[in-house]
A and B are shown apart, each in its own frame.
Chain A
Amino acid sequence: MNRGIQFILVVGLIALFALFLKGLGGDPRSIPTVLIGTTAPTFAGPDVESGKTLSLDQYKGKVVLLNFWASWCYECKVEHNDILRLHQQFKDNPDFVMLGVNYQDELPNAKEYLKTYGSSFQHVRDIKGTMAIDYGVYGVPETFVIDQQGIIRHKWVGPIVGQVYTNLTEQVISPLLHKTQSPT
């Protein structure tokens, strides 16, 4: 075996080790979405509780937080309290709207879920899954932030808890809300 081959062998093995190490450290939830920076797809669907039609268009000019969830989803229960807390934090801002999207669910189960765990904002039903596909959703929970111009600014796969919560509120939502308030 000559030096060149030995060298390639050693470098190859180290590179492989590094790749695996990186792979282990990688967060499987941080999937970059191709949607960031694009116009949020519009949608319309029945409200979970009232059955009235809700659509994205009625919130034009506001910062919209979309939270995809389902009653069968364990991670959604994990984040539920923080989601309510988040709504409490921003609900008084007239430029902020929060919408739940009930995904792949049965209506009675969804209603039951909201009754049990509480809810302070509206939820739209995604009956055929078209909304989820429009938003490139992999599974629940997934959270999107849409700015005043209707552009998707942020996406998170997985529950909004702990550091993720702080990040979302301080780095994403607050600056967006602040931006509209300062000129006026």
Chain B
Amino acid sequence: MISRYILLCLLISLALPWHVCAEVVDETELDIQVREISKTLRCTVCQTENIWESGAPLAVQMRGAIRERLTLGHSPEEIHAYFLSRYGDYILMQPPKHGANWLIWLAPFVLLLVGGFFIYSEVRQWVKPTSPQPQDQPPPLDLEARKKIERELQP
């Protein structure tokens, strides 16, 4: 009895294209491209959010515009250029690397280098060639240091 039911089910499922019931859906190549481009463009009405993450109507429409342009065969670079020509640098999620913007791209590393060099040269001056002492003994300077501090504490 039961096996006959199973057979029936099988027959039905063979006869019908099975995606009518349920489908396995997946992202298309286009979806992925839309996402990659969306992530680099700013939602102009939001607070530093890209149009992929934003739910604002403008962001939704911009995603639509990207999709449309991709289906028309525009390349990602062309789409970037298009948005840039409409909104200016503001539309990009990061300052483009040209002109004065190099200031903020390089500043952290310049500061690290300059600071590092400054520390190195300062510390070199502080290092005094004191007589080498055995490591395990407490440095005798502490008494002197204490005196100095006490002098400082005098109002």
Q: Which residues of A pack against B, CB within 8 Å? A: 31-35, 38, 104, 128-130, 132-136, 138-139
B45 on interface, CB distance cutoff 8 Å: yes
B58 on interface, CB distance cutoff 8 Å: yes
Note all chain A residues with C-beta closer than 8 A to B62.
129, 133
Q: Which residue of A lies closest to B44 (CB)?
A: A138
CA distance A130 to B65 in the complex (A): 7
Task: Give chain B nearest CB distance to A55 CB in angstroms.
Answer: 19
Q: Which residues of B pack against A, CB within 8 Å? A: 44-45, 57-58, 61-62, 64-65, 68, 83-88, 90
CA distance A33 to B86 in the complex (A): 8
Task: Give chain A nearest CB distance to B110 CB in angstroms.
Answer: 15
CA distance A32 to B89 in the complex (A): 11
CA distance A129 to B58 in the complex (A): 8
Which of B61, B64, B83, B85 has most chain A Cβ within 10 Å? B61
Note all chain A residues with C-beta closer than 8 A to B85.
34-35, 38
CA distance A130 to B83 in the complex (A): 12
Decide if A104 touches B88 in the complex (CB within 8 Å).
no
Find B64's partner among A34, A128, A138 (CB 8 Å cutoff): A128
Q: List 19 A-B contacts (CB under 8 A).
A: A33-B88, A34-B87, A35-B85, A35-B86, A38-B85, A104-B61, A128-B61, A128-B68, A129-B65, A130-B61, A130-B68, A132-B61, A133-B61, A133-B65, A133-B83, A134-B86, A136-B86, A138-B58, A139-B45
